[in-house]
Amino acid sequence: MNKKKKSTNTFPYPDEVIDRLARAFYPAILACWNSEEGQREFAAWQAEQAHHTTSKRNRAFPTAGYP
């Protein structure tokens, strides 16, 4: 039986358009990901995200000014 995969697309664009764009950009994304510069940029992004996550957690439970 050939069951068509259920789409999880929530964008206003058809699945075919998204597939074509993904196929067009995928080689460039892989090339960047596998390069040294891409790895450095990703590591910097991860560090930035970790910093934002930590600062958000600290603001979620303020203790200053409470007896």
Taking only the tens place, the pLDDT of each residue in 1-58 is: 566 677 788 889 999 999 999 999 999 999 999 999 999 999 999 999 998 777 666 5
pLDDT above 60 for 60: no
* Model pTM above 0.75: no
The Cα–Cα gap between 38 and 17 comes to: 27
Residue 12 phi/psi, 5-degree rounding, is -80, 5
